[in-house]
Amino acid sequence: MKKLENFEELNSFIAEFVIDNERHERNPYYLEEFKNYTKEYRIHVSKLGGYFYTCRKVLLQEYSGTSNNWYRNDSNSNWLLETNSSFDKPSTWDLIVEDCQRARRALSLDICAMDVKVTSDGRWAILEANSAPSFGEITSEKYLLEITKIIFQ
């Protein structure tokens, strides 16, 4: 991941890495608008509706104040379960889940995980859909249960 601060950096990046708007080994990049929202969640949804699992990505203390504190992933974050008192579910949660379900359907996926950033006042943006998200032990158990339900519905 790389954060580009202005159009000059964007133009330099494009000149160096993007060739004729084609994706190839020198151009494996996806550009997205940076959302400086306060919280990030991973919401796992399936065609059965609602959500079946979720975590909040929380920056590890040692990354606070560093140049890489603007993104959350396995290398710099803890994953808080919904049962954790610091999970801090936003008041717009149900609407966020509905949007995740709309995005899943638009992508024609049966099951996936959505990375969602949320502001302190409840506004949100879906950053990406993960059709093959990283799995810990709990995640794999949740997916096994949900996929079994999908198969035998």
pLDDT at 57: 92
Q: Let me know how long the chain is.
A: 153
- Say how many Å lie between the first and final Cα of the chain, rounded: 39
pLDDT at 63: 79
* Position 111 pLDDT exceeds 70: yes
Contacts of residue 132, Cβ cutoff 8 Å, sequence gap at least 6: none
Nearest to 72 by CA among 99, 104, 44, 38: 38
pLDDT at 23: 57
**What is the Cβ-side half-sphere exposure of residue 4, based on CA atoms within 13 angstroms?**
14
Average pLDDT over residues 109-132: 94
* Position 29 pLDDT exceeds 70: no
Q: What is the pTM of this model?
A: 0.81
Lowest mean pLDDT among 23-32, 68-77, 105-114: 23-32
pLDDT at 27: 61
Return the DSSP state at 20.
Answer: T
- Residue 135 pLDDT class (50, 70, 90 cuts): confident
CATH superfamily of 35-151: ATP-grasp fold, B domain (3.30.470.20)
Three-class HEC string of 47-114:
CCCCCCEEEEEEECHHHCCCCCCCCCCCCCEEEEECCCCCCCCCCCHHHHHHHHHHHHHHCCCCEEEE
* Position 24 pLDDT exceeds 60: no
- Residue 82 pLDDT class (50, 70, 90 cuts): very high
**Percent of all residues in the chain with a pLDDT value above 90, rounded to a whole number:** 58
Domains in the chain: boundaries = 1-31, 35-151
